[in-house]
Amino acid sequence: MTTTFATLFGIVVLVALVVPMVRPRGVDSMIRQARKDGDLSKLSRMLCATPVATRADSIDQVCTRLWNLYERELVAELLTKIAPSTDDMIVQYWMRQVLEIEPEIAAETFTIGFLEEHFNPEVASKCGRRGCCG
């Protein structure tokens, strides 16, 4: 009985250690994959499907992580994918960041039509990391 219990306990511990290492970790996995192959489709679908109450925070967290990893081209491209599907003001903040801090990336990624349709400079000027007043 003691040997059986010890064996079962060992298996449980082994599974508890191995499963998290091989199982994708949600957003972390999607960010890693996007950095690896440039495919933002899973990440953009996940962000657009996030409940409205937490979507802005999720968008901000993903953009912040990519931005801090100097994946600014990916941030700009991600914004072009999610802006048509959401009116979260944090998108305005991040678009302004790209336009002001990485104008070359913005010029390569944001078309005039995209900016006319999805960028609101008045709202963006009132937005910061802690929210938007407008």
Question: DSSP string of 71-91?
Answer: -HHHHHHHHHHHGGG---HHH
Determine the structural domain holding residue 49 and report its residue range.
Answer: 26-126
Residue 134 lies in a domain: no
- What's the burial of 93, exposed, middle or buried (CB within 10 Å: 0-12/13-18/19+)? buried
How far apart CA 53 and CA 5 sit, in angstroms, is 46
- Stretch 66-90: mean pLDDT: 96
Structural domains of the chain, count = 1
Residue 5 lies in a domain: no
More confident residue, 3 or 17: 3
Residue 71 has pLDDT above 90, yes or no: yes
Q: Which residues pair with 127 in a beta bridge?
A: 132
- Stretch 30-59: mean pLDDT: 93
Residue 8 lies in a domain: no
Q: Write down the pTM of the prediction.
A: 0.77
